[in-house]
Amino acid sequence: MQKEQIEKIKQWLQSDKGVKLIIILGILGMGFILISSFLPKKENNVSNSNEKSLSTISDDEDIAKYCDNLNNKLEKILSSIDGVGECQVCVTTNGTSQYSYAKNKDESTWNEKQEVEQKYVIVKKENNEIPIIESIYNPEINGVVIVCEGGNSNVVKEKVYKAVAALLNIKTDKIYVAKLK
């Protein structure tokens, strides 16, 4: 019984009507594929990588906190250097902190066309979706001013120049040392 049905289907497909149906279905399938290549791809706001991989944080409070933290650390370290004494530090920066987010990368090749799709890695935390931060780039340091009790001594100034240049990885021409009143 089953063999008979399979034979009937084979005979029907080999007839003119069957061949025409197969050709029409093939053309329709290719048409759908062609049309789908022109349709815009669906995008998610957070997880699509067509956005920049680095997003900037322009909040002035974040920059102020960064500078204050740096100022406090430098004051503590510099005041412990022999001859410096009490000191005040002011660090100026250019730009903002930048965050680099972790991404998943999917590569596919079809008909000699290679597609790369990148999506941000998102985790759920307390009913919020948060991207995973891969690295943080702090703003560029424009200059540092140090006012200290030992600022009139060339030996102390040299120690301060070397310490600040080493700590912040900046050139000494961006550092100014003066005597505290």
Other beta carbons less than 10 A from residue 89's beta carbon: 22
State the pLDDT at residue 7: 82
State the pLDDT at residue 51: 38
State the pLDDT at residue 59: 56
For residue 26 the two structure tokens come to 């093939």
State the pLDDT at residue 46: 41
CA 11, CA 17: separation in Å to the nearest integer? 10
What is the residue whose two structure tokens read 């009507």? Answer: 17
State the pLDDT at residue 83: 93
Q: How far is CA 135 from CA 10, 54, 68, 70, in A?
A: 63, 10, 21, 19
CA 62, CA 15: separation in Å to the nearest integer? 76
93 touches 67 (CB < 8 A): yes
> What HEC string does the chain produce?
CHHHHHHHHHHHHHCHHHHHHHHHHHHHHHHHHHHHHHCCCCCCCCCECCCCCEEEECCHHHHHHHHHHHHHHHHHHHHCCCCCCCEEEEEEEECCEEEEECEEEEEEEECCEEEEEEEECEEEECCEEEECEEEEECCEEEEEEEEECCCCCHHHHHHHHHHHHHHHCCCHHHEEEEECC
What is the residue whose two structure tokens read 């290719």? Answer: 30
User: Residue 77: which of 139, 138, 152, 148 has the closest Cα?
Assistant: 148
Question: How much is the pTM?
Answer: 0.54
* Partners of 157 in beta bridges: none
> Which mean pLDDT values do the consecutive 10-residue runs of the chain (181 residues) have?
79 80 86 77 43 44 83 93 93 82 81 80 83 83 93 93 93 93 86
